[in-house]
Chains A and B, each alone.
Chain A
């Protein structure tokens, strides 16, 4: 029974991985992946010689950590709050509205965001000027750009990401809540002492997996929203490599960057898993 999926996995997931070889080669399409010459880690040397790559690495880590710090807990809190809502119709409508943005691409959402924050037509600046302030060009401001990234990321994903926590909550034994009620626990006590501990394994698994993509700070989102004025804080590895690598047909260079990101990702996953395993009974492996 397992043979067919194994074959598919081998062909489509593991087979193409040999393409990683071009990270160590000067790739020539005519010579192909295997015949292209080795280049003595030239792409990796180039990466760390390039001050713009180092800046992009720094930005990636900052944005990603901020997203983990702020965006990661947001759906947990949202799910906990939603779980406490007793009016089922309100709960369903709220949930539906909250996960709608997830299904829209960043190309569309970014057009909306640009309009919302427009210094001339945007609703945000409309209120600022209504109260006597000067319009602010948020998307051209280094200090405002990152909060906008985080905020819009939460707005887009909070509803959809909350589904998995809500599903986990629905499987909690209701007897626990009843017993807690008999012991005099209020709703807050139940949330703290029953709901959160019950969903903790799921939170930890998702957290470990999220760490694996710490060098993916949101390519689509940033590519569609940024401009050279905010490169200093918003140019991440993916956007820089897109401009310097893929647009210049440097697939080998782009692969080297991809490999670097994945190695960092897997180290973080293994490291986080090991630490969590040592401190608790949770973890992926």
Chain B
């Protein structure tokens, strides 16, 4: 009996200890005033520090003592502990945050909480402006040059403390998406391109991809899709082709079609003097009706409802689809888009030819697509864990500033050009490709392992082929094109001054379900869009949508933000 009691006591003690250990959380104030005089000088790396680092490209593939790690350790007198977490996996990042087990630096691609929530939840610390200016001068310069730079990511109620560092998303400048058509099919069917066409590049498949800055109208696209479906464009004598191949987990396939109706899914707009979410606007409704009509005509591949984007790319490669929406980098055959449509088809079928046009022209003459970044090119967040000390932060900022903003740090991304990587085209003027014998990211070389998703200075060139730049120059990033075709939200809470994010988090599960279900059922003709529209909108508004829109009214207008 005595022994049983002792055993029971031990078990209870163990439980209590477990609770104590796991449940114990410090409520220390993560933001406190920093004494700059106590901090080391810039480039004073005399004290060896241990840092747990990760970056935007950390996907759990890193090997210890990799090439980049060793060089950084020597340069900054630190011992780097690698992060084996896949920061692109929402389940893994959520668990890391929930358990408080985050690295000293991180930038999760698959989102969990907003920067403010991370800070409020005690996961991250603030970064004093003084420290940024002292230890990250190049980053500071980037903020000076890109408005609203220093005004972003401020801790609520403070002008001196930042809840995260931000990045320059220069790779998203301009518009990204364009419709592509099988040019060999168009030729077979005797359909003329809408304007003068030029090959995107000289060889490697680029000579079979043609671009024009003119566009078909939606009526013309409809006729083309019909011909692609019913007129045997591949000449095999079988009825086995389709015009359009959508997918069920993203909306990029409809971005230019909706743009032709003047609406960008995911954004808000003013319609009939009311602030509306795109998904409950009449413009979106008209877009849905057109897609439903196309489905009814049989020109949409019916299998799309069970295909995600990756399966759709695989299906496109078989060569039975005539139309696909693609990013400018896909049609410029950037190396990282090899598996994506339409590059995968060009690589596998030497006879396939493509036509890339400007976004389709809608009923009111509108052309466009949702702008990738709603307001500014500054975006994404690099966060510092709560337990990082000021001395550690000083070193982290210097590493961050060097590897992300100093062009000399190119080796952290591509190794030594010539040895580990090579120029895709003209040296210093084209993209850099890591040689096949080395891992492009992480692994034993550690490329990209500690970097943040930011592309200031020369960096955009290193990851962008000259053909993408040509396309940007000719069309996609031309100021007049961006002005006319980039659809931005009407209001946007750029400085996170409202409770919009909190409400979105709370209601997005319900609202996404309502929207996804209605969209898909509408397109495949299970419901009559006109008949069901009002109840759908009411349902959306009653399940959190109205609350979100009311909160959004407090956010600034994007036009005002841009004017500022």
Contact = CB atoms under 8 A, between A and B. Distances in A.
Interface of A: 2-3, 6-7, 10-11, 14-16, 18, 27-35, 50-52, 114, 118-120, 137, 139-140, 227-229, 231-232, 235, 240, 243-251
Given A35-B27, A245-B509, A30 B122 contact: yes
Contacts of A137: 302-303, 305-306
Contact of A29 (B24, B90, B122): B122
Contacts of B7: 2-3, 6
30 contacts: A6-B11, A7-B10, A7-B14, A11-B14, A15-B18, A15-B19, A16-B22, A29-B122, A30-B27, A31-B27, A32-B23, A34-B23, A34-B25, A51-B543, A120-B303, A137-B303, A137-B306, A139-B306, A140-B305, A227-B520, A228-B305, A228-B517, A229-B520, A244-B509, A246-B91, A246-B94, A247-B90, A249-B112, A250-B505, A251-B94
Contacts of B98: 27, 29, 249, 251
Contacts of A119: 302-303
Given A28-B120, A31-B121, A229-B520, A248 B505 contact: yes
Given A119-B302, A139-B306, A10 B25 contact: no
Interface string B298-311: 00001101100000
Contacts of B505: 248-250
Contact of A231 (B18, B22, B517): B517
A77 B10 CA distance: 48
Given A35-B27, A137-B302, A247 B509 contact: yes
Nearest to B102: A29
Which 9 residue pairs of A and B lie closest in terms of their CB atoms, listed nearest first?
A: A30-B122, A244-B509, A32-B25, A15-B18, A228-B516, A30-B121, A34-B23, A228-B520, A28-B121
Contacts of A18: 19, 23
| Majority secondary structure of chain B interface residues (helix, strand, loop or mixed) | helix
Nearest to B524: A229
- Contact residue range for chain B? 35 or more
Contacts of A28: 120-122
B513 A231 contact: yes
B122 A227 contact: no
Interface string B1-32: 00000010011101100110011110100100
Contacts of B302: 119, 137, 140
B508 interface: yes
Contacts of B407: none
| Majority secondary structure of chain A interface residues (helix, strand, loop or mixed) | helix
Interface of B: 7, 10-12, 14-15, 18-19, 22-25, 27, 30, 90-91, 94, 97-100, 112-113, 120-123, 248, 302-303, 305-306, 386, 505-506, 508-510, 512-514, 516-517, 519-521, 524, 526, 543
Contacts, number: 137
B508 to A, nearest CB: 6
Contacts of A140: 302, 305-306, 524
Given A28-B120, A52-B510, A245-B509, 16 more contacts: A7-B14, A11-B18, A18-B19, A33-B23, A35-B25, A119-B303, A228-B513, A228-B517, A231-B513, A247-B90, A247-B509, A248-B506, A249-B94, A249-B97, A249-B112, A249-B113
A275 B144 CA distance: 74
A30 B513 contact: no
A243 B306 contact: no
Contacts of A114: 306
A120 to B, nearest CB: 6
B15 A15 contact: yes
B513 A243 contact: yes
A10 B509 contact: no
A31 B123 CA distance: 9
A34 B15 CA distance: 14
A159 to B, nearest CB: 27
Given A140-B306, A227-B306, A229-B521, A30 B100 contact: yes
B513 A235 contact: yes
Contacts of B14: 7, 10-11, 15
B249 to A, nearest CB: 9
Contacts of A235: 513
Nearest to A242: B509
Contacts of A232: 517
B295 to A, nearest CB: 12
A29 B97 contact: yes
Contacts of B506: 248, 250
A241 B352 CA distance: 44
B391 to A, nearest CB: 22
Given A3-B10, A248-B505, A29 B123 contact: yes
A240 B18 CA distance: 32
Contacts of B306: 114, 137, 139-140, 227
Contacts of B24: 32
Contacts of B97: 29, 249
A122 to B, nearest CB: 10
A245 B512 CA distance: 12
A198 B248 CA distance: 50
A227 B94 CA distance: 24
A145 B18 CA distance: 45
Contacts of A120: 303
Contacts of A2: 7
A139 B248 CA distance: 13
A7 B302 CA distance: 56
A227 B11 contact: no
Contacts of B10: 3, 7
A7 B509 contact: no
Contacts of B524: 140, 229
A6 B510 CA distance: 43
